[in-house]
Structure 1
Amino acid sequence: MPTRRQALALAAAGLAAPSIARAQTAAPAWRPERPIRLIVPFAPGGSNDIVGRIVAEAAGQALGQPIVVENRAGAGSVIGAELVARAAPDGYTVLINSSHSTVPAIVARVPYRTVEDFAGVAVAGFSPHVLVVDPKLPARTGPELVALLKVNPGRYNLATAGIGSGVHVAAELFRSTTGAQIEAVHYRGGGPSVSALVAGEAQVGTPTMASSIGQVRGGGLRALAVLAERRSPALPDVPSAPEAGLPKLIHEEFFPILAPAGTPAPVVASLGAAFRGAIGQSAAKLVEMAGVSPREGFETPEQVMALVREGVERYTAILRAAGVQPE
């Protein structure tokens, strides 16, 4: 019988194999002459940082130049995303940002156009968020947590990765679907928000699986539910949201990799081929280390940006239904 790691590897390889084949047979149309910056608009240790570092090394090898991860945290990813939007469209600056579609739904004055100012390169994968609590909290199930919060309104803190982050959207979805009265505290990225939970500064969180999976496995956090319709192979012992009695608490993030608008088509094509190949080669690691599953169907810039556009519409609908207006 295969081990969990072997099963994850086989599943990931099956998902990624067609992309790998295409990436290996396509001749690069552009070769960079110096290192490329991959901007992560959050602090180190969060999901974008983890996923970005996993795929950057293999993509750099394919392109013949290193891809250097550069953390530019602040304003719920707006600072880093704006840097890329304003960068020269020459292929040497790219962005990975799972909050790219959530920002315009919650930030009133975004200093760039979410779709028009970017070109789609690739999608590193998809991953559900996780409902976690401080292990010292006397709640071991979703209903127990909701009941605890309702009898103690305002007593506990809910950690997010910053205003406009996917974690913020998940937090608002938790509050709106459960009616829990809990204070949201915004940190400067997924890593700091998880650290706050482990330290007891906050007691409840809806972090990404990538940023929290190590603490969940190690016992630093107690996971009550994976915010998906089904359990995740990365955390097979954690119930899905419906199993945990929270059927409306479904929230999944995706990781678009983007270049500035106006980047020449051959450059975008070469970047896309390199990143898709890297994602395929790293599929098992992405699942095991980050709970991120690669998917087919995002081979062109248009497909990537269509996903971004659909995300803006979906997250906006979630937040408006929760009564959250842009700030």
Structure 2
Amino acid sequence: MQTRREALSLALTAGLAPSVVRAQSTQAWRPTRPIRMIVPFAPGGSNDIVGRIIAESASQALGQTVVIENRAGAGSVIGSEHVARSAPDGYTVLINSSHSTVPAIVARMPYNAVDDFVGVAVAGFSPYVLVVNPQLPARTAQELLALLKAAPGRYNIATAGTGSGVHVGAELYRSVAGVEAELVHYRGGGPSVAALVAGEAQIGAPTMASSIGQVRGGALRALAVLAEQRSPALPDVPSAPEAGLPGLIHEEFFPILAPAGTPAPVVAALGAAFRGAIQQNVAKLNELAGVAPRAGFETSAQVITLVREGVERYTAILRAAGVQPE
């Protein structure tokens, strides 16, 4: 005969079963060696900055060091392919804000940007910024437009590499503004911003994360934030509509991904650790990188859906601009 205590125990177990299963699934896997976070760009770019901000807190949550490893090349393709081909064991993850733009520009992709990955977390969102070298005689977006119209092909625009979000921003600017300017591809956001500061390139649409320090310090002049509204990180810089470029809206997001086939408990553990790290560093992400986390990306499916929708959106933007994959 079932005792009252046994009955109560069974009832509690039944009521708590879903949450217990969830808790066990997130705690069942613990790494036993360091985890590599692949940044598919050179040091100093937005992904490198954001990755380093959250890596320490994620390391504390997981009990193992999250090591940043830069694998630059081919507009992030080299580093992303490395992750896609890595063992799906939780010890290799990717952070790549260009992940959804690359398929729109690279004709022969060595991996599938959606099917070869699973979502872990989203570190946040950030607009791109239209900037110029301060030596360029243009203090507003309209003055830059007049300068480029008067001398087609004379000036160049720096990008972070073919297929990067910065490349998309440059193509979008050329299309929306209707100007001719030569694209110069660098090996990541850091090198492209360095080229702008040095005067090797005159114009750029870098990520806020990779350029915010140079803008605040006066090494670059920001003409517009490529968003509908001004950014709290650069409150004195006009939005694209305010600058007379209402069609120039371009924002990056930072998905953290693991290889397809990574077991669900491992993905859950990684997701919990990285989401916690992101929330712990909200102020730092905004101050140092102009990146703001958003709710709605708590599951692996939500993250990969964002990636899929990004691929579709960027492809539509570039095709409308007349850009075909190469």
TM-score range, shorter chain: over 0.9
Q: Max radius of gyration: which structure? A: 2
Does the 8 A contact of 1:24 with 1:277 survive in 2? Answer: no
Alignment of 1:6-155 (within 5 A): 28-155=27-154
The Cα shift of 1:202 comes to: 0.2
Partner of 2:174: 175
Report the residue type matching 1:247 in the other structure.
P
> One-letter code of the match for 1:101?
S
- Name the SS for the 1:171 alignment partner: helix
CA offsets per residue over residues 158-191 of structure 1, 9 Å max, x none? 0000000000000000000001110000000000
2:241 matched to which residue of 1?
242
What is the alpha-carbon distance in structure 1 between the residues aligned to residue 300 and residue 194 of structure 2?
A: 35
CA contact (8 A) 1:225 1:244 kept: yes
Give the equivalent residue in structure 2 for 1:185: 184
TM-score by length of 1: 0.92
In the alignment, the residues of structure 1 paired with residue 272 and residue 49 of structure 2 have an alpha-carbon distance, to the nearest angstrom, of 21
RMSD: 1.3
Instruction: Name the CA distance, whole Å, in 2 between partners of 1:29 and 1:168.
Output: 41
Whether the 8 Å CA contact 1:108–1:326 is kept in 2: the answer is yes
Q: Aligned partners of 1:164, 1:202: CA distance in 2, in Å?
A: 19
Paired residues of 2:40 and 2:79 also in contact (CA < 8 A): yes
Q: Give the secondary-structure state (helix, strand or coil) at the position aligned to 1:253.
A: strand
Deviations, residues 260-305 of structure 1 (Å, cap 9, x unaligned): 0000000000000000000000010000000000000001110000
The letter for the 2-side match of 1:249 is L
1:119-177 superposed Cα distances (whole Å, 9 cap, x missing partner): 00000000000000010111111111011001111111100000000000000000000
Deviation at 1:30?
A: 1.1
For residue 56 of structure 1, report the CA deviation from its aligned partner: 0.7
Change (3 A) 1:237 1:65: same
- SS of 2:121's equivalent in the other structure is strand
- Please state whether the residue corresponding to 1:39 is helix, strand or coil: strand
1:24 Cα deviation from its structure 2 partner = 11
1:27 Cα shift?
A: 5.4
Do the aligned partners of 2:152 and 2:180 also contact (CA within 8 Å) in 1? yes
Where do 5+ consecutive residues of structure 2 fail to align?
1-21
1:320 alignment partner AA: R
CA distance in 2, matches of 1:293, 1:25: 30
Q: Distance in 2 between matches of 1:225 and 1:73?
A: 28
Q: Distance in 2 between matches of 1:53 and 1:30?
A: 23
1:312 matched to 2:311: yes
- C-alpha deviation, 1:194, in angstroms: 0.1
> 1:162 and 1:174, CA in 2 relative to 1: closer, same or farther beyond 3 A?
same
Residue in 2 aligned with 1:8?
Answer: none
Whether contact under 8 Å (2:26, 2:272) holds in the other structure is no
Q: Is the 8 A contact 1:26 1:273 kept in 2?
A: no
Counterpart-to-counterpart distance in 1, 2:36 and 2:59:
10
Amino acid at match of 2:147: L
Match of 2:15 in 1: none
Q: Cα offset for 1:65? A: 0.1
Q: Which runs of 5+ in 1 are unaligned?
A: 1-22
Aligned to 2:256: 257
Pair 196,241 (structure 1): closer, same or farther in 2 beyond 3 Å: same
